[in-house]
Structure 1
């Protein structure tokens, strides 16, 4: 397997296919680089170099007890891009991975980056605070951690069978293979990393990070996202970014890169080609 070792000794697994302009994908919680299969195959067949890593504590990367926060996620991503000596890279992040991309750009600069895309991403801030009154109550995320600790396997079955892919919506037929693949990816990772990761994706405030980003960013978000509610995420991120294009979808699920890969890939290709 292809891995790098970070400064704190964590091994990060990654895939690196093809040649040409590099696209770096950052996955959502609690998944792995495999969640980008539909995008990586699509873009490598169109002459791009595609790269995706398993976040620390996820997938095939090692499972340290600490460092499950956005700063470490961003530092791990920076270590990977430096190891591969990427230039003019395009970074695409889904959900928690969108937060990782935003923190990476703000913390490590844009010298290696030409564009970015955020798909149903967690910035600017998910949790409700005095400054973020429309956020989700802290009790929602406490429930995530409680359910994970009580029965992680069952919880990782319930999420994709319901809100993640919108299979709980009337008239939407569940796709068993997608549910099982989500469960497989989740169970490959570590319970400690995933438990701590709930705090990372829900309580990190990316407002200042978004203000620092100057490269063009495509913000893609669905109004029917049941995991990262639309109104307090995509539109607000687009307003904070200096050069953003907001693309709104009306009835696609949080996991739309998988369920509606043809649509998402086409939109991304147009953005990358401009």
Structure 2
């Protein structure tokens, strides 16, 4: 299997399909590059070089105890892009991956001249946690509860999480296969990485990263996202970027699935060409 090695010696798995302008996909928590299987084919079919990696600790990447933080995730993404010598890159990040691509673009991709555009979907920026500077955020008790559930019985937690993640609890059509695949990917994360990533996605402040972006960014999110509230995410992020386009999907959940996936993928393709 294809791997790159980071500066601190961690093995990061990646997969790619197609040729052309590179599009690099960063997945959400607790998933892997498998979450992008549909996009890898669709974008390769559309004439792009589609690349996705498993975040450290996730999927087929090395099961890490340390480095499970957003700064390191961004460095790992930079290592993938540099190892593959990608230029004119379109970055696409979902949820935690949205934070990863924003930080990477601001701190590495733009200075190196590698990034052309950024897309986020249901992404965690600018900041999920409630603080004095972010009084509308979610209280720390929410994230403490997630950590406790992951530590106690992560297998059952992944199963329970599929309901709100995909909006099945709101009547959306979600197959047992979609739910099972989420559970399968979740069970590939080692416990330390899954636990620590909660802090990474909830407590990292991306405000300055968003402000630093000079490239165009498409900020997409469903207005029925029960995992990352849109009022604290897309609606705030769009006000911080210089060249942003906001796309809100009525009734869409957090998970990229079904009709939401079809619409989002087509909109990304259209936006890249526009």
TM-score normalised over the length of structure 2: 0.97
Q: Which runs of 4+ in 1 moved over 6 A?
A: none
Q: Which runs of 5+ in 2 are unaligned?
A: none
* Corresponding residue number in structure 2 for 1:32: 32
Conservation of the 8 A alpha-carbon contact between 1:257 and 1:264:
no
Say whether residues 1:15 and 2:15 are aligned partners: yes
- Within a 5 Å distance, the mapping from 1:155-174 to structure 2 comes to 155-160=157-162, 162-169=163-170, 171-174=171-174
Conservation of the 8 A alpha-carbon contact between 2:130 and 2:139:
yes
Deviation at 1:173, TM superposition (A): 3.6
Distance 1:172 1:151 in 2: 26
Q: 2:144 aligns with which of 142, 145, 150?
A: 142
Distance 1:150 1:121 in 2: 26
Deviation at 1:267, TM superposition (A): 0.5
* Corresponding residue number in structure 2 for 1:248: 248
Deviation at 1:189, TM superposition (A): 1.4
Rate the CA distance shift 1:216–1:34 in 2: closer, same or farther, 3 A: same
Deviation at 1:54, TM superposition (A): 0.0
Deviation at 1:16, TM superposition (A): 1.5
Deviation at 1:172, TM superposition (A): 2.7
Rate the CA distance shift 1:26–1:191 in 2: closer, same or farther, 3 A: same
SS at match of 1:168: helix
Conservation of the 8 A alpha-carbon contact between 1:38 and 1:261:
no
Conservation of the 8 A alpha-carbon contact between 1:156 and 1:186:
yes
Conservation of the 8 A alpha-carbon contact between 2:218 and 2:246:
yes
Conservation of the 8 A alpha-carbon contact between 2:25 and 2:51:
yes
Conservation of the 8 A alpha-carbon contact between 1:164 and 1:254:
yes
Conservation of the 8 A alpha-carbon contact between 1:38 and 1:258:
no
Deviation at 1:96, TM superposition (A): 0.1
Deviation at 1:257, TM superposition (A): 4.7
Distance 1:174 1:125 in 2: 29
Distance 1:173 1:210 in 2: 34
Deviation sequence 1:73-103 (CA, Å, 0-9, x none)? 0000000100011110100000000000011
- Within a 5 Å distance, the mapping from 1:1-274 to structure 2 comes to 1-110=1-110, 111-160=113-162, 162-169=163-170, 171-257=171-257, 260-274=260-274
Deviation sequence 1:102-160 (CA, Å, 0-9, x none)? 11012214110100100000000001011101101100000000000000100011111
Distance 2:71 2:58 in 1: 16
In the alignment of these two chains, the number of paired residues is 272
Deviation sequence 1:210-252 (CA, Å, 0-9, x none)? 1100000000011110000001100111110110000011200
Deviation sequence 1:53-86 (CA, Å, 0-9, x none)? 0000000000121000001000000001000111
Q: What is the root-mean-square deviation of aligned Cα atoms in Å? A: 1.0
Deviation at 1:258, TM superposition (A): 5.4
Conservation of the 8 A alpha-carbon contact between 2:4 and 2:80:
yes
Deviation at 1:260, TM superposition (A): 2.4
Distance 2:81 2:258 in 1: 25
Deviation at 1:175, TM superposition (A): 1.2
